[in-house]
Amino acid sequence: MKVIIAEKPSVAREIASLLGAIEKKDGYLTGNGYYVTWAFGHLVSLAMPEEYCITGFQREALPILPNPFLLTVRKLKENNSNIPDAGALKQLKTIEQLLKNCESIIVATDAGREGELIFRYIYEYLKCNKPFERLWISSLTEKAILKGFENLRPGKEFDGLYLAARGRSRADWLVGINSSQALTIASGAGVYSLGRVQTPTLALICKRFLENKAFTIKKYWQIELEHRKDFIDFKSLSLIKWDDSKQADHALKFIQRQAMATVTTFEKKIVNEQPPLLFDLTALQKEANIKLNLSSEETLTIAQSLYEKKFISYPRTGSKYILEDIWGEIPNLIGILEEIDKFREIVPKMKRGRLNKRIVNDLKVTDHHGLLITERIPSALVAKEKAIYEMIAYRLLEAVSSVCIKEITDVVLQAVHYDFSLKGCKIIDAGWRFIKGSFIDEDNNPVQDLPELKIGDELKIKEAKVLEKQTKPPVLYTEAGLLGAMENAANQIESEQERKALQGIGIGTPATRAAIIETLFKRDYIKRHKKFLLPTEKGLKVYELVKDKKIADVTMTADWELVLQKIENNEVDVTVFQKGMEDYTKTITQEILALSVEKEKQPELICPRCKIQKLVIRDKLMKCPDESCNWVQFRNICGVQLSFLDLETLITKRKTNLLKGMTSKSGKKFDAYIEMDKKGQTTFTFPEKKKRK
């Protein structure tokens, strides 16, 4: 018998049904010579400090450098302690029994770094040494699965992938556990979390927020001219930006008096605008955030659902290309879209015999090819799934279409002795842009047709006016912007040599970036304001403490990602990386423990219910330590964090000062007081509206 281990029950069921393993058992399916079982994601993970007999946060125990690292069954948090997950334990015992009774193993976890780690940690924890082969597929369609089983690959081929995954896992443990405990000890109040990827990501958000806040907006003035020739209206804008409105007004009077402008420069060029490549996960998340206002985590969840329903290929991909041997399937995929209402009129107009092969590049396909639809026509999709599917389908059609050919005209006019510029754009062949009918250029400028012009032409000025403008601060990050900054971390590096070396290496991977952003929300380090990501008071505090440390530097984590890729490709010994991680952990731990953290004095408050116990104040709540009393007050109320002063006022005066800018469940802003009764129960009261006279 052969054991097949999938990552999830849904994938296991799909594989089992194709292989004829249809007899249901507790935790697996069997039949036709196979046992088909599954994990529930990470059943086994690295043990926490308490399993090395280190409880609580102990200065003298740091840094914690496990040797060897221990593996443990997944834990769940319950009553401030970690207990084994009963479901994980049960499934692990099932897998153990099947492995004992089998001849060989087929690994069918997701074909990527984390999927490999999920299996290998189970394999290692159960001390299994039986041979295994790898099912490596990018789609869950029947055709892809059967082809994958015809081409099973030796497990040894993926040792580099496993070592990179294990190296990442251990590095995150070393840096995360030790730096977080060190900062918590140094602060003396509250629990803090730092991490190999989360801290540089937080640093990006905080740095941009502070730059935006510190930016001094300055006004400037430009002059706009309106012209008309050959029944075409067009505008030009002064190249000079005046700092003084009076100077701009003075120039305007001269220009109005002359009322003519002369063409001094005229340049016309043909531009071939290449179609976009296929989506990788990060590009899809960015597009979905911009167009659909979806978070990166939501987009990944939706894409994973579409994958498991067999409508798209594997979503956690970092590539935008496909292999040469997949190219033959593309015309068929395009033909399938003709069956869908949204694409019924577009597909017949495509030049099916002359598709653009720009997306074919075997050297640029990493673990998986770029995102594709499958031959399965989607049905019963919810609105968001439909929107993401259509986004991927549109991108496929665009990617294989011809270039968009434009005629770009750059013109400089002179009025009096001031220069004015204008740009024209004429579509000669729409190419890939006809798919959506969008002709906005990269700078969001619409197509502007110009009349025939030549140097020396004189144009009448229909109207001239001064425009008041202002400089713009660095824009706050949206999730799309942050994903782009994480993906292109090298752009943040000042040293040109380092920037070139790390070009194309981001912080995190396409598969992990959404989870990192969600972690920052869970830690109460960042919050959403409309579509922007802002640091919280706690997030800014952490940033100020570690901003000059290597742990907050995108260079370091981007460098590590580069090394992990080399480990994956068997170019670097993982033990060298591990030693470097341990050395760095020692350094950062000592640096953080030596920090002088300014401690905000906590008020000493008595429980309003039992009137005996001194209240314990934490980041997220204030509570009575007596379990029989169990009074608690959460500190984050409708998006507003209660300060120590707010808490003190509530307990001593039974009513806070007016709290402004709270957000209701429907998203509406409101101001209110929090009042407390004699039993310690709280309610909102609202300020009286001023009567209109």
CB-based contacts of 94-100 (< 8 A; 24+ apart in sequence): 94/26, 94/27, 94/28, 94/37, 95/3, 95/5, 95/27, 95/37, 95/39, 95/43, 95/122, 95/126, 96/126, 98/3, 98/28, 98/35, 98/37, 99/3, 99/126, 99/128, 99/130
**Cα–Cα distance measured from residue 83 to residue 75, given in angstroms and rounded to the nearest whole number:** 5
Look at the block and give the residue holding tokens 């300020």.
687
Q: What are the two backbone dihedrals, phi and then psi, of residue 142, each rounded to the nearest 5 degrees?
A: -55, -45
**Cα–Cα distance measured from residue 349 to residue 363, given in angstroms and rounded to the nearest whole number:** 32
Q: What are the two backbone dihedrals, phi and then psi, of residue 57, each rounded to the nearest 5 degrees?
A: -105, 110
Which of 222, 224, 217, 226 is closest to 242 using CA atoms?
222
**Cα–Cα distance measured from residue 86 to residue 84, given in angstroms and rounded to the nearest whole number:** 6
* Assigned token pair, 615: 């209240």
**Cα–Cα distance measured from residue 312 to residue 318, given in angstroms and rounded to the nearest whole number:** 15
**Cα–Cα distance measured from residue 385 to residue 671, given in angstroms and rounded to the nearest whole number:** 37
Written as one letter, the residue type at 467 is L
**Cα–Cα distance measured from residue 16 to residue 655, given in angstroms and rounded to the nearest whole number:** 62
- Under 8 Å between Cβ of 599 and 648: no
Whether cis (ω within 30° of 0) applies to the bond prior to 63 is yes
What is the 3 state secondary structure string of 451-492?
CCCCCCCEEECCEEEEEEEECCCCCCCEHHHHHHHHHCHHHH
Which of 406, 409, 405 is closest to 232 using CA atoms?
409
CA angle 561, 151, 369 (to 5 degrees): 40
Q: Which residues of 462-479 are buried (b: 16+ CB within 10 A; e: fewer)?
A: eebebeeeeeeeeebbbb
* Assigned token pair, 125: 């924890």
Which of 200, 185, 178 is closest to 586 using CA atoms?
178
Name every residue whose Cβ is closer than 8 Å to that of residue 593 and which is 6 or more positions away in sequence.
Answer: 59, 62, 182, 185, 186
Cα dihedral 427→432→438→440 (10° resolution): -60
Answer yes or no: 314 catalytic.
yes
Q: Give me the catalytic one of 314, 321, 477, 525.
A: 314
Look at the block and give the residue holding tokens 């594997």.
314
**Cα–Cα distance measured from residue 214 to residue 390, given in angstroms and rounded to the nearest whole number:** 41
What is the 3 state secondary structure string of 363-416?
HHCCCCCCCCECCCCCCCCCHHHHHHHHHHHHHHHHHCCCCEEEEEEEEEEEEC
CA angle 480, 435, 306 (to 5 degrees): 55
Written as one letter, the residue type at 347 is V
Question: Residue 239 CB: number of other CB atoms within 10 A?
Answer: 11
Which of 135, 123, 63, 72 is closest to 98 using CA atoms?
123
**Cα–Cα distance measured from residue 297 to residue 515, given in angstroms and rounded to the nearest whole number:** 7
- Sign of the alpha-carbon dihedral angle for 427, 430, 433, 435: positive
* Assigned token pair, 680: 């310690």
Name every residue whose Cβ is closer than 8 Å to that of residue 353 and which is 6 or more positions away in sequence.
Answer: none
Active site residues: 314
